[in-house]
Amino acid sequence: MNKKLIALAVGAALGTPMAAQAGATVYGHGQVEIANYGSDDKGTAVVDNARGRIGVKSTEDLGGGLKALFKVEFKADFADGVAGGKLTDSNGDTVQSDASLTKREMMVGLKGNFGEVQLGRLKTAYKYTGGVKYDPFVATVLEARDGNAMSGKVGVGAIKKAAGHHAFVDDSIAYKNKFGDISLWITYDLDDGGPSSDTGGNALTASVKFSQKNWEVFVATVDDDNDGAPGNGYSATKIGGQFRTGPHKISAQLENADTGAVVNPDIQYIYLDYQFKMGKNIFDVAYGQVDPDGANNDHDWLRLAVIHKFSKKTRAWIGWSNLDSDLPNSDSSVVSVGLRVDI
């Protein structure tokens, strides 16, 4: 079916008039995993893990090399239809949420010879430079973020999760441009709200990437002046790169974070990933190490997995990951089998 016709239907359902324009397209994907956890409290579960999504995007040519941009995207949980997750009542019992879609990126902008300016609820330069772009299993139970090999959910207030490798930042403005082989990306949160309504801080993320045909290197930083856990600010810097040759792809990232904590505030994350493509299969080996400064709770993380691509839009995978922690009773492992279909 023509994507423009689908966009009309989706736009009507989501209440987005822009979707009715001729240039609008709909996109998204659905995903479900069957995961077996190496712990008695989780066992085997059918999960979506925030991967399912649907969105509408459009551009308008304004002439003179200037274009208007529009994008709205929502998360859709294909495992149980509860995109917002399950809620807990006053008795501590799990209850079903009514949310079938929850917000992701929402953006309008302008693009021209000056670069690109975006406004709205935006992606951050920190999360999407290296980071989640280097992990073929991001948003699955096999992912590297959430403290396995990359920072995950950090901070409080409106920027919660987004200072690391999660979520998006509200009330923001971004600037992107490319100067030859160098890409610049800056995201600034004008008013992140802070831990309470009258103590808002501002968060800045920025990245610079140097790219060639088969390789790239980057540096990225985030600085949240008020919302880092436990409320005293959060900052992090990471460097990394990726190299591709023939069927081989190697990715690496070193991340240093200052959580703002009074005791042992610094955490170092190391992420290494190797992919080998053979026909329709991609074999993946990933290693991670997390080292909190001054604390005896280091851990090592390992992932072995394979992706089979039936087509450009349909893939399945099977994989295993294991966390070996210095903390008592903190080791964990998981085996996952999943299917993803793009539109």
Q: What is the pLDDT of residues 59-81, one digit of tens each?
A: 999 999 999 999 999 988 888 77
pLDDT recorded at residue 19:
42
Residue 281 lies in a domain: no
Residue 246 to residues 142, 210, 249, 282: CA-CA distances in angstroms? 25, 21, 8, 13
CB 285 within 8 A of CB 306: no
Residue 73 lies in a domain: yes
pTM, to two decimals: 0.85
Q: What angle is formed at CA 281 by the lines to CA 277 and CA 48, rounded to 5 degrees?
A: 120
Reference 230, options 255, 264, 254; nearest CA is 264
| Coil, strand or helix at 123 | coil
Reference 24, options 37, 38, 6; nearest CA is 6
pLDDT recorded at residue 199:
43
pLDDT tens figures, 280-316: 999 999 999 999 886 677 899 999 999 999 999 999 9
Integer Cα distance of 144 and 135 in angstroms = 7
Residue 240 lies in a domain: yes
Residue 273: pLDDT over 90 = yes
pLDDT recorded at residue 164:
83
Residue 305 lies in a domain: no
Residue 13 lies in a domain: no
pLDDT recorded at residue 95:
53
Residue 150 lies in a domain: yes
Integer Cα distance of 128 and 139 in angstroms = 13
Reference 20, options 29, 28, 12; nearest CA is 12
Integer Cα distance of 47 and 116 in angstroms = 36
Q: Which amino acid is at 151?
A: S
Residue 246, by phi and psi: left (phi above 0), alpha (psi -120 to 50) or beta? left
Residue 12 lies in a domain: no
Residue 227 lies in a domain: yes
CB 267 within 8 A of CB 294: no
Q: Report the CATH number that the domain containing residue 235 is assigned in CATH.
A: 2.40.160.10
Exposure string (b/e) for 96-118, b if CB count within 10 Å is 16 or more? ebebebbbbbbbebebeeeebbb
Give residue 109's pLDDT band: very low, low, confident or very high (50, 70, 90).
Answer: very high
pLDDT recorded at residue 331:
84
CA 62 from chain center: how many Å?
A: 31
Name the average pLDDT for the chain.
83
Residue 275: pLDDT over 90 = yes
Q: For residue 29, what is the DSSP state?
A: E
Domains identified in the chain, total number: 1
Residue 89: pLDDT over 70 = no
pLDDT recorded at residue 103:
87
CB 36 within 8 A of CB 338: no
pLDDT recorded at residue 8:
47
Domain with 232, as residue range(s), is 32-267+335-342
